[in-house]
Amino acid sequence: MLERLQQQLHDINRSDAGYDIHDFLVTDAHVARAISGGDTMTNSGETLLLCEDEHGVALSLYLDEALLDRLRAGDPAAALGAGLLDDLCKVIEGLSHFNYVAWRASRDRSVTLLELELQAEVDKFVSTMQLAREKGDTELMRGLHARLFDNPRFHDHLSRRQLERYRAASEYAARFCQALVPRLRGCGEDLLPELRRFYRMSLGDKISHIHAHAWENSPA
């Protein structure tokens, strides 16, 4: 299940840095807290564990074992109709974080936390829309944007700075993804070049691109 979802993100963004997520996966919250020195949001069910020094970047991805067990019961697309969409989105978010940091690090490029969250929001939407299309779930395809972006829920324990970052990522992604909806309801293949360019943009260029899309799609 994780292999398929990771590969789906690689296929969308052309971002394969050659790392199998199973080699970096942590599913025990106690181990995740120990790795992070106690400073990690294990109660969310997903978090990227990262340590950077002069030797490079060390990565692990924490995904709660119970969350994975619920999704392993069937094909990822089956989770869409089994009340497990939130679990699925958490896994896609974690994989997106891992892929993005690994891809940037392989090119000796840094990444900000806002970039990380913004890309994850886009990846969640595009990936889930693809799964819904494969399943023929037109109801979810019509309602996914509203479900992910209209009333996003944030953890109560976030600091003000963290909350502002998550809100900004959600708002930027909502604008960008809204312009993608009509094409994602079709085959979506014509979107891949744009999504891959977006993946490689700097944060400033991404924000400019989002504003340009919003302007192009605003009512006359």
At 55-77, the pLDDT tens digits run 778 899 999 999 999 888 877 77
pLDDT score for 157: 78
| Weakly modelled stretches of the chain, pLDDT under 70 | 38-43, 187-188, 214-220
pLDDT score for 38: 65
C-alpha 94/C-alpha 61 separation (Å) is 7
Contact 192, 12 (CB under 8 A): yes
Contact 166, 154 (CB under 8 A): yes
pLDDT score for 220: 42
Query: Quick one: how far is CA 214 from the chain centroid?
Result: 21
* pTM attached to this predicted model: 0.91
Amino acid at 150: D
